[in-house]
Structure 1
Amino acid sequence: MNGNMGAKLQDLPRLDRALEADSAHSWTSPHLLKLNFCALSLALFASANGFDVSLMNGLQSLPQWQSFMSIPTGAWLGFVNIVYWLGMLFTYLFSASLSNRFGRKIGLYIGVVVILVAAALQAAAPNQAIWIVARTLAGCAAGFWSSTAPILITEIAYPSHRPIITALYQCGFYLGSLLSAIVTLRALTYTSSWAWRVPSLLQALLPLISVPGLLLCPESPRWLVSRDRLEQARSSLAKWHADGDISAPLVNSQMNEIYAALVSEKEASSASYLDMVKTKGNRRRLLITLSLALFSQWCGNGVVSYYLAKILGTVGITSAKSQLIITVSLQVSNLLCAVIAACFVGRIGKRLLFRASAVMMLVSYVLITGLSGSFAENGHAAIGIAVIPFLFIFFAGYAIALTPLLIAYPCEIWQFNLRSRGLTLTWIAAVVFASFNGLVNPIALDAIQWKYYFLFLGVLITYGITAHFLYPETRGYSLERIGVLFDEEIVIVDGQTSSIGINPMADESAEKH
């Protein structure tokens, strides 16, 4: 370990100095192009989730699907939407343990197999019961890859590329949404049940496209170190980060940091969810994780994502073609905003994105609520149409922070032995909030329509306050050193550990290590 195995983490050579010495390796270096191809291929799993969300919204615009499902409304429509999330919840019961024990890639392979079965079954469904079973299986597949792919990306990414690559993962959600909306728009020309069967079958397309990148993708070097496979981890870092130079300063620096951090933790297999509340730092991580999950589902986006057709109907836009065109345009806008924000996250930081997101969504949602109420009173078409640009602004606010950082941020702030469980908990909380939304939203929209929007105004205000006071800035920290923003500083001397208190509220004003 280059003679530093007895060193404390903060006394190890700074990783950014090793990166400066490695400056010849740019984004265009062949080995990094290959690595980033693997990482971005994994982002297609997020695209698969986005395909589903937009698919459910699009299917509600198809008369053939409405007829097949007996024109679902209220609680029945809510149940049809949440069975996907229930499948994800079931998978989350064991996905973290699977990832920690057998590696980060095994869950991805299982997910691909399951989605192939689910897509075929849903496309061929002869009745509503089989369709529901297929949707549940699709949710199980999503549970496998959504709890694993972001962690693998985080742990294999080249250090200076990590903020952008990890933020781009969830941006893939909008790529899937866009493709789904386009497919559903094309399906309007079909007169048979193939109008909904073809989009259902295409759920397997994006995961299949990701398979070549998955096959090439290395296993997490951090997981290898946690299993005492040190030489394999070093060889992997050398191959993917240093073009095969096993003695490169960057390889030594990363191995020393990873080893120092992992020695101070329990083995991944012995970590438990109870550890999330045992220390002040972990309790803060937990609060951030749960609040992000809440805001990602309860800021009003759930109403628009799944029930956009209903919302447009309340402001006088009832044509199926018009609704789907607006949906496609929204996905293009969302994708552009999310990708641009992800590309600049390393320069402007995460706290600024969170703040800007809260302000944009709050202002636009106030105007959406006011215009919707005004249209309900007088029915003027111009007022209804005026809602549309503010829907775009609202989702732009969501896209610049809650899309790229919902997953990237928890993957960064949780230490290795709890990273899988931290991400799993993020998804579990998001699924629970989304499932509750799925059941309540259609009932509330039918009962009180635009007045229901007032609930989400309060959530948006809370989001802005919480992000300002609770979320630390991680820009400028290596993956292992982010822990100093939350924990007591771990000192490792001859295999023994002791602690030195640090300021857990460090933010962008803190010295970057």
Structure 2
Amino acid sequence: MAHFERKYVSALVPANPKVLTVILVAVAIVNSAFHPAKTLGYDASVMNGLSILPSYTEYFHLNDATTGLNNAAVWIGSILGTGFVQPIPDRLGRKNGILIATAATVIGIILQAAAQNIAMFVIGRIIIGAGTILSNMSAPPLLAELLPPRSRSFVLGIFFSCFYVGGLLSAIINYGSQNIQSTWAWRLPSLLQFIPSLISIAFLPFIPESPRWLIANGHEEHATEVLAIMAGKQDSPLQAAEESMQEIKFIMAKEEERYPKNPWKELLSTPANRKRVFLLVLFGIMVEMLGNFIVSYYLGRFLSQAGITDPNKQNQINVIMQCWSFAIAIFGSFMLDTMGRRVQTLIGVAGMTTTLYILGGLIKLYGDSSNTSAVYGTISVIFLFQGFYAFSITPMTSLYPTEICQYKLRAAGTAVFRFFDSGFGLLASFTMSFALSDLRWKFYLINASWNLIFLALVYLFFVETKGLKLEEIALKFGEDVIEGLENPSVEYVDVADDLDDGNKPRGKAI
């Protein structure tokens, strides 16, 4: 590879694209596994584990209402933070978005761990939620805009899948801290989120800013350097980068002509964009309402209803559950480009619906039974349920909303998805605690029944994007080809794909 002098890109950013890809995978793992969120690994498992610890429930004198409030606080923060999602990563950059998000979550973590009452605990978790939503809107677009297409679906799939890594570590920490005879039994697991947040910041100097964001904000020389690094082993990386940049600018100009309004207005400006919004809203609701909330936050309650009341055994099952879910989610990430997004989602929703019906029946029959075989048979079904969710929905959560939106609409569209994700997470936080107490086994049957509606909507409306270039995804939504790209020699593909292959760049999609 020909050498060139870097003026903008840090010397810490690897010159080898393969090494850079490894670092981007590490960024995905750290942000997914440890960055606090309702579903980003460590935090979800922390709240799940804390609900099992008597030192936590007794310290705050929790009931159904206050348990729901403690869990729901992070959702309140996520909803409040949604207004900052689009401006920060779009105006300040994807990397700065991650930095600001991490700083906010560190403040929230400290308040949560030092909480002296429910109010302080809730405020800390609201701040965590605001930081989380910003992280969710900054990290996936950065990865999507740097990675070659052949790596994008898998890495964005494991971005969310690796929250089980954080969940596993949290479950192990909760299991070990349960014997601490003080409030540190729950303060320690809360506080340990602080360290991975610092690791997240430490990775930032080793990755470049998104070249698309740089071009969109007038930093063309900086973007050229990033594209040259992404070019890999070429004799003239700067020349290849210049050509790529000009073609990206051409597409951006054409998109600006097609979508001249504010991104939020453009979301509803055309039938194609309205269909995107419908899918973003539908998927945002599905992520929280398929029944997974029981495992994410109320596993202890479920296990008690199934007949396992010993906190030690509940923590052991929690550890095993995280290992199982992680393995299945990684497998699901690999299968996205084989089975396809739509088919994989249909399989997952159908499996979750079936297992919820079975769970309702088993809990009715054996919930108060001393029959050990029946109790563990019930537990095996919840493992099957979680396997279906981890296989299908988990790897899709960061990939699909990012994939179906064009560059200009990506942050705003993903914000819509996260708003409904967080909104229904907030609803579930407040209602499911009461539903599990009052309805018991009937609740699982009710949840399974509305899953049938989700199954029908996925079958009727989900757009399959497996193996499609960005132009082909746009055509799936009924959009016309951008003028000037009809020529087959000017292929509408991502710049990273050409650069990764070492070929001369052609027409590019953003």
Fold conserved (TM > 0.5)? yes
SS of residue matched to 2:94: coil
Deviation at 1:243, TM superposition (A): 4.4
Q: Distance in 2 between matches of 1:142 and 1:124?
A: 20
CA 1:155–1:246 in structure 2 vs 1: closer, same or farther (change >3 Å)? farther
Contact 1:354–1:402 (8 Å) recurs in 2: yes
- Return the match for 1:373 from 360, 364, 367: 364
User: Residue by residue, what CA displacement relative to the aligned partner does 1:148-192 show, whole Å, maximum 9, x if unpaired?
Assistant: 111111111123211111111111211111111111011112111
Match of 1:320 in 2: 311
Q: Distance in 1 between matches of 2:113 and 2:482?
A: 57
Q: Which amino acid aligns with 1:203?
A: Q
Deviation at 1:418, TM superposition (A): 0.8
Contact 2:86–2:415 (8 Å) recurs in 1: yes
Q: Distance in 2 between matches of 1:426 and 1:245?
A: 42
Match of 2:492 in 1: none
Match of 1:438 in 2: 429
CA 1:487–1:313 in structure 2 vs 1: closer, same or farther (change >3 Å)? same
Gaps of 5+ in 1: 1-27, 495-512
1:34 aligns with 2:25: no
Count of residue correspondences: 467
Q: Distance in 2 between matches of 1:318 and 1:241?
A: 57
Q: Distance in 2 between matches of 1:269 and 1:319?
A: 60
Q: Distance in 2 between matches of 1:100 and 1:270?
A: 15
Match of 2:499 in 1: none
Percent identity of equivalent pairs: 28
1:44 aligns with 2:34: no
Q: Which amino acid aligns with 2:350?
A: V
Contact 2:307–2:368 (8 Å) recurs in 1: no
Contact 1:123–1:198 (8 Å) recurs in 2: yes
1:492 aligns with 2:483: yes
Contact 1:271–1:417 (8 Å) recurs in 2: no
Deviation at 1:355, TM superposition (A): 1.9
- Return the match for 1:140 from 101, 125, 130: 130
Q: Distance in 2 between matches of 1:78 and 1:120?
A: 21
CA 1:325–1:269 in structure 2 vs 1: closer, same or farther (change >3 Å)? farther
- Return the match for 1:124 from 94, 104, 114: 114
- Return the match for 1:330 from 313, 321, 325: 321
Deviation at 1:320, TM superposition (A): 0.3
Task: Give me the TM-score of the superposition, normalised by structure 1.
Answer: 0.85
1:450 aligns with 2:437: no
SS of residue matched to 1:218: coil
Q: Distance in 1 between matches of 2:225 and 2:347?
A: 42
Contact 1:32–1:241 (8 Å) recurs in 2: no
Q: Distance in 1 between matches of 2:382 and 2:233?
A: 46
- Return the match for 1:402 from 393, 399, 406: 393
CA 1:430–1:257 in structure 2 vs 1: closer, same or farther (change >3 Å)? farther
Match of 1:280 in 2: 271
Matches within 5 A, 1:60-459: 60-70=51-61, 72-243=62-233, 246-247=236-237, 255=245, 258-266=248-256, 271-376=262-367, 380-459=371-450
RMSD: 2.4
Q: Distance in 1 between matches of 2:28 and 2:185?
A: 29
Deviation at 1:138, TM superposition (A): 1.5
Deviation at 1:31, TM superposition (A): 2.4
Contact 1:35–1:240 (8 Å) recurs in 2: no
SS of residue matched to 1:148: helix
User: Residue by residue, what CA displacement relative to the aligned partner does 1:438-459 show, whole Å, maximum 9, x if unpaired?
Assistant: 1010111111111111221123
User: Residue by residue, what CA displacement relative to the aligned partner does 1:79-133 show, whole Å, maximum 9, x if unpaired?
Assistant: 1111111111111111211111121111211122122222222222233322222
Q: Distance in 2 between matches of 1:429 and 1:244?
A: 45
CA 1:453–1:242 in structure 2 vs 1: closer, same or farther (change >3 Å)? same
Q: Distance in 2 between matches of 1:91 and 1:241?
A: 36
SS of residue matched to 1:266: helix
Q: Which amino acid aligns with 2:17?
A: H
Q: Distance in 1 between matches of 2:378 and 2:281?
A: 31
Q: Distance in 1 between matches of 2:243 and 2:357?
A: 50
Matches within 5 A, 1:497-508: none
Q: Which amino acid aligns with 2:22?
A: N
Contact 1:261–1:480 (8 Å) recurs in 2: no
User: Residue by residue, what CA displacement relative to the aligned partner does 1:437-491 show, whole Å, maximum 9, x if unpaired?
Assistant: 0101011111111111122112322232222221222122234553222142143
Task: Give me the TM-score of the superposition, normalised by structure 2.
Answer: 0.86
Deviation at 1:238, TM superposition (A): 2.0
Contact 2:356–2:445 (8 Å) recurs in 1: no
